[in-house]
Amino acid sequence: MNSGVAVSVEDVSKRFRLYHDRGTSLKERLVKRGKTRYEDLWALQNVSFEVGEGETVGIIGHNGSGKSTLLKSICGVLQPSDGQIVVNGTIAGLLELGAGFQHELSGRDNIYLNGSMLGLTKKEIDDIFDEIVAFAELEKFIDNQVKFYSSGMYVRLGFAVAVNVNPDVLVIDEVLAVGDERFQRKCLNRIREFQDQGKTIIFVSHAAAQVRAICNRAVVLDQGKVITISNPGEAIRVFRDSLLAVEDRVKPKPAEGNAAAEHTADQGSQRSVRIEQVRLNGSIPGVQPNVKTGDAMKIEVDYHATDAVEGVAFTFELFLGDGSDEPVLMMRSSSDAQGMVFDLDQGHNTANITLPTWPITDGSFFLNVGIAARNEGMMFDWKEKAVSFETVYEGRSEGLLSLPYDISLREQ
């Protein structure tokens, strides 16, 4: 391995063997002996990349693309079927929820167990014990069996152990999303400290904003293969395109001999719903709109559906930012989570997303807008910075928000 490389993943493949039709009774098994059918599932296929010392690399990919399998292989929890992984230095990981904990033991005993598994002596663990408990905010619960912990408490303990054993390489699976927002922020701050100390981090996340905020590079996995390794912005773009490719894979095959169906098959890679234009309060594309505090906000999404599609959700993200700083996520929402799912007709149409009042008094904002197939959780199309706008405030209250209110006197 070259010097300066913290983790090298070389042509790694991982096969899981899925058995079908295994007889349930002993008799059935004996009768079917030798006939057990199985299917090989390649969770990773010829994956190669290197992570430099001090680098933070994100791993992105849709569900089942092999992210957790890759992290477990890097941490040595899983053995690759092929290829090799070399880690330079000590490694600590926050893998899937609850992984690495003995459920019958207390939080205290688990800290000692985990620490010793990571190669620390009892004395070394004694020295960092209080820090771990304090970081995890589990003072009151540390002598309870971890099986009584909530999922958030598990993550807090797991993260606290992983960062406080001071590894050279820190590996984090998506679990961070489980903690509450305040704890997530605390973890992100700790991650930044880690980066400042020149440590190496491998980080799995579905959250594009997080990957963009903390990673130097990102690896995109699709069906166990690396489809790109690049800067986070480009990787996120490729990832979103790969979601569209999944959409193509699951599309029913057109019937043979049907001219219209062959036509769609020819355009197999075409997206079935595309966003054409997004307007805010009737804005003209190219001219940045202003939104007055207290006014309603109407986001018009012009789209084109190549076929009629059922079960569609509209998603948007509202960010505070004018490009001079890291944008701040103000709101992310998917209409299906609010019970709004739509069946789209074929052709051109417009969806209106209406927010009754814009309560904010100052700032530059932008909107990302997406159209998703609700069940598969895949994006048909996504427009980053679909509209940017400024806030205009003409009222007289002070502070960031101007919320409508009413005052009435109680009749005597």
Ligand X SMILES: Nc1ncnc2c1ncn2[C@@H]1O[C@H](COP(=O)(O)OP(=O)(O)OP(=O)(O)O)[C@@H](O)[C@H]1O
Query: Residues 9, 45, 61, 138: which binds ligand X (CB under 6 A)?
Result: 61
Measure the CA–CA gap between 305 and 36, rounded to whole angstroms: 45
User: Which of ligand X, Mg ion, none lies near 232, with the C-beta cut-off 5 to 8 A by kind?
Assistant: none
Task: Evaluate whether 307 touches 272 at the Cβ level (below 8 Å).
Answer: yes
How many residues of this chain bind ligand X (CB under 6 A)? 12
Q: Is 68 in the site for ligand X (CB under 6 A)?
A: yes
- The answer to whether 63 contacts ligand X (rule: CB under 6 A) is yes
69 binds ligand X (CB under 6 A): yes
Sign of CA dihedral 205, 209, 214, 215: positive
Q: Where does 78-212 show beta strands of DSSP type E? A: 82-87, 91-94, 169-172, 200-204
Residue pair 387/280 in contact by the 8 Å Cβ criterion: yes
Q: How many residues bind Mg ion (CB under 5 A)?
A: 2
Sites for ligand X among residues 23-52 (CB under 6 A):
41, 43
Residue 68 binding Mg ion, by CB under 5 A: yes
CA geometry: angle 147, 148, 151, nearest 5 deg: 85
Q: Residue 67 or residue 271: which is nearer to Mg ion going by CB?
A: 67
Q: Is 402 in the site for ligand X (CB under 6 A)?
A: no
From the list ligand X, Mg ion, none, which binds 41 (C-beta under 5 to 8 Å, kind-based)?
Answer: ligand X
Query: In the block, which residue shows the tokens 């509202």?
Result: 318
Closer CB to ligand X, 42 or 112, in the complex = 42
In the bound complex, what is the minimum distance in angstroms from residue 358's beta carbon to Mg ion?
38
Q: If contact means CB under 5 to 8 A according to the sort of partner, which of ligand X, Mg ion, none does residue 315 touch?
A: none
In whole angstroms, the minimum distance from the beta carbon of 41 to ligand X comes to 6
- 61 vs 107 by CB, closer to Mg ion: 61
Q: How far apart are CA 168 and CA 201, in angstroms?
A: 9
Interaction pattern, residues 128-147, with Mg ion; x per rule: CB under 5 A: --------------------
Q: CA-CA distance, 247 to 251, in Å (whole number)?
A: 6
Dist CA 409 CA 394 (whole Å): 27
Using CB under 5 A as the binding rule, whether residue 205 contacts Mg ion is answered as no
Q: How far is the CB of 367 from ligand X (least distance, A)?
A: 26
Please state, in angstroms and rounded to a whole number, the distance separating the CA atoms of residues 14 and 74: 12
Contact stretch for ligand X (CB under 6 A) within 66-74, 185-193, 331-339, 360-368: 66-74
Q: CB–CB of 67/73 below 8 Å? A: no
Return the residue of 8, 47, 55, 66 that touches ligand X, per CB under 6 A: 66
Give bridge partners of residue 349 from the DSSP assignment. Answer: 303
Stretch that binds ligand X, among 57-65, 116-124, 156-164, 274-282 (CB under 6 A): 57-65
73 binds ligand X (CB under 6 A): no
Closer Cβ to ligand X, 250 or 331, answer by number:
250
Stretch of 20-28, 41-49, 67-75, 183-191 lying at the interface with Mg ion (CB under 5 A):
67-75
Helix residue ranges per DSSP H, 204-349: 208-214, 232-250, 259-266
Distance CA 275, CA 295 (A): 25
The window from 61-69, 280-288, 384-392, 404-412 that contacts ligand X (CB under 6 A) reads 61-69
In this structure, are residues 333 and 387 in contact, taking their beta carbons and an 8 Å threshold?
no
Task: Judge contact between 378 and 247, C-beta under 8 A.
Answer: yes
Question: Does 250 help bind ligand X (rule: CB under 6 A)?
Answer: no
Rounded to a whole number of angstroms, the minimum distance from the CB of residue 114 to ligand X is 22
Q: Which residue has the tokens 């020819």?
A: 266
Helix axes 151-164, 107-117, angle to 10 degrees: 40
Q: What is the dihedral of CA 193, 196, 198, 204, to 10 degrees?
A: 50
- Please tell me whether residue 368 binds Mg ion under the rule CB under 5 A: no
Describe the strand order of the beta sheet including 297-305 as a list of residue ranges: 273-280, 297-305, 347-355
- Tell me whether residue 138 or residue 175 sits nearer to Mg ion (CB atom): 175
Applying CB under 6 A, the residues found at the interface with ligand X are: 16, 18, 41, 43, 61, 63-69
Applying CB under 5 A, the residues found at the interface with Mg ion are: 67-68
